[in-house]
Amino acid sequence: MHALLSAVEMTGVMGWEILWALCLGFVLSAGIEACVSKEKVGQLMPDSSAKTIVIASALGAASSSCSYAATALARTLFRKGADFIAAMAFQFASTNLVVELSVLLAVLMGWRFMAAEFVGGPIMILLVVVFLRMTLKPKLIAAAHKQAMLNLPGRMEGHAAMDMSLHTGTFWQKVTSSKGYTATTHYYWMDWYSLWPDILGGLVISGCLAAWVPQHFWQGFFLVGHPVLARFWGPLIGPLVAVLSFVCSVGNVPLAAVLWNGGISFGGVIAFLFADLIILPILNIYRKYYGLKVAAILFATFYAAMALAALAVEFLFGAVGLIPRERSATIMQEAVRWNYTSVLNVVFLGISAIMLFRFLKTGGPAMLRMMDDAPPMDAPAHHCCH
């Protein structure tokens, strides 16, 4: 009973520590999404040229999504004419180069981890593009497209098809208008609705591991006594830990903090964070979307790109002295205290309440019900909140 209560207490403390950072990240992300039209995204990705990959990555970072919605949106773009490799670049950027992940990493683990995510993310996307060009022949892409056109259900297709963005005016005009505010509140609560299972799962798993697994186990598992081997072992094992954790998106940040405090290498943390797109449920979705053979290729190429990009980050940050020496992520406090974190939590809970009121008044619950439905293959994007 004591061990169980310790895990529950640790989970609660972690949740309190990350609450305001999550709220801030979701607010910023929702504001950006309210200004980016998903209808036009696919038209900007006709091939896998360097220019298109850069555009796809930028659009993905602006179109912040949970991992499931990102995979669903990538398939939608592919079906509507986008290049397959460009769609994969978009998918990676929409989960690894997004505002909420950056805020959470900076607050809980430090700015170096946030910087590593932004340095390693483009490297990983570049490697994904190179590897997919080497392995995916036109015949395989054609087979993947045929499978995608079957419209087999995965998860979060409704979220991926939801487009509540404004199409006219400057960015500031869109965000500050009445319709822009409504769209922002809808995206904000849509993100919470779609991500809370992963956030809760990450907190519960992290709380249990922090309370129950002794430090010497982590140190042995991550080869802390062999510094040179540990630098290579971390990027290799990090994605595999993520695959077995079933946690994706920002939900894996608390677990990343536990692994870092346990002794995994800097590159291992980054590889773990990258691997939200190869967890077991999403691998099964790839199988449904594109067929077993293409799904196997995606797993192999994604894993290789994640490990190599994380290894590059390990050596780059090590060379310039940016790898933290202390292993004490701020998420691992012993108890909830009245400090700046608590003040910020109260402030953002108030902001969330105000946004919830607008959300409820403007058809938000009906929009969430639409999220759980897979739209027809040729259906236009939903515009439900204006």
Contact in structure between 177 and 51 (CB atoms under 8 Å): no
pLDDT bucket at 193, cuts 50 / 70 / 90: confident
pLDDT of residue 100: 78
Give pLDDT tens digits for 288-310.
999 999 999 999 999 999 999 99
Which range, 121-135, 189-203, 336-350, has the best average confidence (pLDDT)? 121-135
How distant is the alpha carbon of residue 115 from its chain centre? 16
Q: Which two tokens stand for residue 222?
A: 């991550």
Best CA proximity match to 27, nearest among 355, 267, 329: 355
pLDDT bucket at 329, cuts 50 / 70 / 90: low
pLDDT of residue 373: 59
pLDDT of residue 19: 83
CA atoms within 13 A on the CB side of 291: 16
pLDDT above 60: residue 377: no
Give pLDDT tens digits for 308-323.
999 999 999 999 999 9
CA pair distance 177, 127, nearest whole angstrom: 40
pLDDT bucket at 356, cuts 50 / 70 / 90: very high
Q: pTM value?
A: 0.78
How many angstroms separate the first and last alpha carbons of the chain?
A: 51
Which range, 33-37, 58-62, 131-135, 283-287, has the best average confidence (pLDDT)? 131-135
Amino acid letter, residue 82: A
Which range, 2-16, 134-148, 201-215, 335-349, has the best average confidence (pLDDT)? 134-148
Higher-pLDDT residue of 325, 84: 84
CA pair distance 277, 282, nearest whole angstrom: 6
pLDDT of residue 350: 95
pLDDT of residue 252: 80
pLDDT above 80: residue 81: yes
CA pair distance 270, 251, nearest whole angstrom: 14
Spell out the alpha helix ranges (H) of the chain: 2-33, 50-62, 67-79, 84-96, 99-108, 111-135, 138-148, 157-161, 171-176, 178-212, 215-221, 227-245, 253-262, 266-274, 280-290, 292-319, 340-361, 364-371
Q: What are phi and psi of 162, to 5 degrees?
A: -75, 120
- Across the range 53-69, mean pLDDT stands at 81
Q: Which two tokens stand for residue 228?
A: 């040179």
pLDDT of residue 7: 66
Contact in structure between 239 and 233 (CB atoms under 8 Å): no
Q: Which residue has the tokens 């994969």?
A: 88
pLDDT of residue 8: 73
CA pair distance 123, 362, nearest whole angstrom: 41
Q: Give Cα separations from 88 to 26, 127, 169, 286, 288 (angstroms).
A: 23, 12, 30, 11, 16
pLDDT of residue 282: 87
**How is residue 338 annotated by DSSP?**
S
pLDDT of residue 385: 47
Q: What are phi and psi of 245, to 5 degrees?
A: -80, -20
pLDDT of residue 24: 83
The rounded percent of the chain whose pLDDT value lies above 90 is: 36
Concatenating the DSSP letter of every residue in 25-79 gives HHHHHHHHHTT--GGGTGGG-SS--HHHHHHHHHHHHHS---HHHHHHHHHHHHH
- Across the range 197-206, mean pLDDT stands at 77
Q: What are phi and psi of 382, to 5 degrees?
A: -75, 135
- Across the range 283-292, mean pLDDT stands at 92
pLDDT above 80: residue 40: no
User: CA-CA-CA-CA torsion for 112, 115, 120, 122, nearest 10 degrees?
Assistant: 180
pLDDT of residue 386: 43
The rounded percent of the chain whose pLDDT value lies above 70 is: 84
pLDDT of residue 103: 83
**How is residue 199 annotated by DSSP?**
H
Mean pLDDT of the chain: 83
pLDDT of residue 302: 96
Question: Could you give the 3-state DSSP secondary structure of residue 290?
Answer: helix
Give pLDDT tens digits for 235-280.
999 998 888 776 666 778 888 888 898 889 999 999 999 998 898 8
